[in-house]
């Protein structure tokens, strides 16, 4: 180690004692100088410091205190370094420690090059706090990126939160700060104390922490990196386009709570309760709202401060891995909501991390999100993009998640998203596309598909941006699936209309087919539709009393047969009256009474729809694209009737008829492609679902009467507000 003892020595010591010196390894620790090994340490409030031989524990030298604040110095006649310990005498105690300033650099030059150039896909294996053994000594390696800081220190219980005790080594060529602190252990609290270019002191939690305290506390917690999780063939297959995908969207904090205390269920308790429920209901996937650590419950996780730390609200990382593993054992895949578009302005978080706009764009026209009072990641920075893309890989690799649903993609790819003229910065070509954000998404999706080819990557993208589910090599974003927000908005708008007006909006239920195969779509009835005064899904339906339930059941029947994968938010499956409230559990009491229980009936319908969907390739075999769908009736607006056929590759088909008027239609004739006996395999108006069960005979014989461009047809009775699934049972010659 080089020596900086010179005419400025006293000035340097003064800076060290004030926490203003940015090159602590040049002054602290052992230094070979002219045949002597000189030791220098700064221990505020220490009475005495003694060097011990590590092997014999013999006292070798008592150091001189050369500064009243606790700077000690002394030297031994030595020509080489040796193993020693430091004995510190405090006012009322003694302490023997290893010297963190005797260790060399922690990052290689190649490491820093990879990180600075955004090419380290596993940046979380290097950055943050890692429990390691170095030179036979156990401790924690801390590395953080803060290129514009004047000094960075690790603070925690282990050093009385004094930033002067453990200042870090700056790697000036890269902006990384590093230190190995011996004898620290799992569970200890820490933060980074940062001296900014303006000489302000900031206290920041670790961007790469693997566990953080629960709000309102904000410290990071020393915790081991989880082990790599193995993805099975079943998991991989379940995400594919030619498989049935029915997603149950869940907010873990409000699905169910302890009834006596309203406390959250833990990850392990959710594994015992949520997983069996989802399996019983026939859902194939669970999508959980963001669980990255976040300070405000009301953000539902969509404003995370610690992307690498699963929230401790429900337990530790091992508990989350247990929850995911139990899901996999029950043939259920888990998708994580992932927020890479913005972050909150909490002072302990990423905002002005080193006193400058490091993680966010500097210009508020690029870096500030007016809708959510948050900050936007700087996608121009390779290091920030590396931080984010590594994080996406981290959740799949270290926890075993089967995919990510990326939140608010439109806000990332449009520079003028939710901004008025003059409030946004055009790209280099003068356009409104955030080119670097597009590149980031393409890179991240490419990375994940390279490492985990069958992972489900889902975009919540609300515009008609081209190629969301096309591969990047075809100028797409590289997602597997996109939420079909247009279908959701059109159909829910239609269902809220009084039936007398529906005939004037008949195309709202048919329009989506024009673009149904332009992307790989998921039909989303998400949490966003049942909050903030939008009313519950049941309350959105037209009518009063039983009619609301009948409309909802008919809508579900239409949705489960319509092209696209399925997603509904928790509580929608049993037609909860109230809007979703994140502060309490769902209204499970609605299911307690079994007699004529419309909520229980709706729940049973969703369960039956899930299993029928899963067992019927005609309803999910999207690999045939539009060939597996054809309209039968699109023009009966007076009766608000829609009919279409779903067909698999073996020409097995299901006829779906949805009737959205309150009139009972007798002797309704509809064309069918084959002669034979047909069976009504599902009727949303059935007694078991809370309906009136107006249909007595479920078998119907086709007749040689041409209708809807078919030679054969059926004569049916259509109950009010109902959807029928009809299947050919016996083919007649």
| Active site (catalytic) residues | 407, 460
Which residues in 226-258 are b (16+ Cβ under 10 Å) and which e? beeeebeeebbebbeeebbbbbbbbbbbbbbbe
Neighbours of 71 (CB within 10 A): 24
**Cα separation, 141 vs 180, whole angstroms:** 4
**Cα separation, 192 vs 206, whole angstroms:** 7
Residue with tokens 């948050």: 374
**Cα separation, 204 vs 196, whole angstroms:** 12
Distance of CA 127 to the CA centre of its chain: 21
Which residues in 631-667 are b (16+ Cβ under 10 Å) and which e? ebbbebeebbbbbbbbbbeeeebbbbbbbbbbeebee
- In what side-by-side order are the strands of the sheet with 64-67? 29-33, 36-42, 71-77, 64-67
Q: What angle do CA 111, 22, 194 make, to 5 degrees?
A: 85
**Cα separation, 549 vs 691, whole angstroms:** 9
Residue 137 in 3-state DSSP? strand
392 and 122 in contact (C-beta within 8 Å)? no
**Cα separation, 570 vs 220, whole angstroms:** 32
Residue with tokens 């005797």: 102
318 sits in which H/E element: helix 317-329
**Long-range CB contacts for residues 512-517, cutoff 8 Å, separation at least 24:** 512/484, 512/486, 512/487, 512/562, 513/563, 513/629, 513/631, 515/486, 516/484, 516/487, 516/563, 516/564, 516/626, 516/629, 517/563, 517/625, 517/626
**Cα separation, 580 vs 589, whole angstroms:** 15
192 and 152 in contact (C-beta within 8 Å)? yes
CA-derived radius of gyration, the chain? 32
47 and 181 in contact (C-beta within 8 Å)? no
Cβ burial of 185 (10 Å; 0-12, 13-18, 19+) is exposed
Which pair of tokens denotes residue 228?
A: 């790599």
């Amino acid at each position: 180690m080089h020596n900086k003892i010179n005419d400025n020595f006293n000035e340097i010591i003064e800076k060290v004692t004030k926490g203003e010196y940015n090159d602590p390894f040049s002054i602290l620790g052992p230094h070979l100088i002219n045949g002597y090994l000189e030791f220098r340490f700064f221990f505020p409030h220490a009475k005495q410091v003694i060097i011990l031989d590590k092997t014999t524990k013999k006292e070798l030298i008592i150091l001189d205190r050369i500064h009243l604040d606790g700077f000690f110095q002394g030297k031994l006649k030595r020509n080489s370094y040796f193993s020693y310990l430091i004995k510190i005498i405090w006012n009322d105690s003694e302490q023997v420690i290893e010297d963190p300033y005797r260790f060399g650099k922690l990052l290689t030059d190649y490491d820093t090059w990879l990180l600075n150039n955004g090419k380290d896909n596993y940046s979380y294996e290097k950055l943050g706090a890692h429990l390691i053994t170095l030179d036979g000594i156990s401790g924690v390696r801390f590395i953080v990126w803060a290129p514009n800081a004047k000094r960075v220190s690790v603070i925690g219980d282990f050093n009385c939160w004094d930033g002067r005790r453990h200042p870090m080594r700056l790697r000036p060529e890269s902006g990384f700060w590093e230190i190995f602190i011996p004898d620290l252990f799992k569970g200890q609290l820490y933060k980074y104390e940062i001296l900014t270019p303006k000489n302000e002191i900031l206290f920041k939690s670790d961007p790469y922490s693997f566990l953080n305290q629960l709000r309102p506390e904000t410290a990071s917690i020393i915790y081991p990196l989880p082990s790599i999780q193995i993805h099975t063939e079943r998991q991989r297959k379940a995400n594919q386009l030619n498989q049935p995908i029915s997603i149950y969207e869940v907010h873990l904090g409000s699905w169910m709570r302890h009834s006596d205390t309203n406390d959250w269920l833990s990850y392990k308790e959710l594994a015992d309760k949520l997983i069996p429920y989802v399996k019983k209901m026939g859902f194939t996937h669970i999508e959980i709202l963001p669980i990255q650590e976040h300070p405000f419950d009301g953000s539902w996780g969509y404003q995370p401060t610690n992307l690498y730390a699963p929230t401790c609200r429900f337990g530790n990382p091992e508990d989350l891995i247990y929850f995911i593993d139990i899901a996999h054992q029950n043939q259920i895949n888990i998708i994580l909501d992932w927020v890479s578009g913005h972050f909150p302005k909490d002072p302990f978080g990423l905002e002005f991390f080193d006193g400058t706009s490091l993680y966010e764009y500097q210009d508020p026209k690029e870096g500030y999100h007016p809708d959510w009072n948050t900050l936007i990641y700087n996608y121009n920075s390779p290091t920030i993009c590396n931080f984010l893309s590594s994080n996406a890989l981290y959740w799949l690799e270290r926890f075993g998640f089967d995919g990510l649903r990326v939140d608010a993609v439109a806000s990332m790819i449009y520079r003028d998203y939710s901004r008025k003229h003059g409030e946004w910065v055009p790209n280099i070509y003068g356009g409104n596309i955030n080119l670097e954000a597009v590149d980031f998404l393409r890179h991240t999706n490419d990375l994940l598909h390279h490492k985990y080819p069958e992972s489900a990557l889902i975009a919540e993208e609300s515009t008609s941006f081209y190629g969301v589910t096309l591969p990047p090599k075809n100028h797409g974003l590289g997602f597997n699936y996109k939420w079909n927000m247009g279908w959701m908005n059109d159909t829910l708008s239609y269902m809220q209309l009084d039936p007398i007006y529906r005939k004037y909006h008949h195309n709202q239920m048919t329009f989506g087919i024009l673009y149904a195969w332009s992307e790989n779509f998921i039909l989303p009835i998400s949490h966003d539709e049942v909050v903030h005064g939008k009313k519950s899904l049941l309350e959105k339906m037209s009518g009063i009393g039983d009619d609301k339930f009948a409309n909802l059941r008919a809508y579900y029947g239409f949705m489960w047969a319509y092209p696209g994968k399925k997603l509904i938010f928790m509580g929608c499956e049993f037609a909860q009256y109230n809007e979703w409230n994140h502060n309490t559990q769902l209204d499970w009491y609605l299911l307690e009474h079994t007699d004529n229980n419309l909520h229980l009936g709706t729940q049973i319908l969703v369960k039956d729809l899930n299993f029928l969907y899963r067992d019927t390739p005609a309803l999910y075999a999207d690999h045939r694209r539009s060939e597996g769908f054809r309209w039968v009736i699109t023009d009966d607006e007076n009766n608000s009737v829609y009919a279409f056929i779903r067909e698999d590759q073996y020409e097995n088909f299901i006829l779906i008829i949805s009737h959205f008027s309150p009139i009972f239609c007798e002797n309704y004739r509809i064309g069918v492609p084959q002669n034979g006996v047909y069976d009504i395999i599902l009727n949303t108006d059935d007694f078991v679902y809370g309906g009136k069960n107006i249909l007595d005979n479920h078998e119907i014989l086709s007749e040689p009467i041409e209708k809807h461009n078919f030679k054969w047809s059926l004569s049916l009775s259509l109950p009010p507000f109902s959807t029928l699934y009809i299947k050919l049972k016996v083919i007649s010659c």
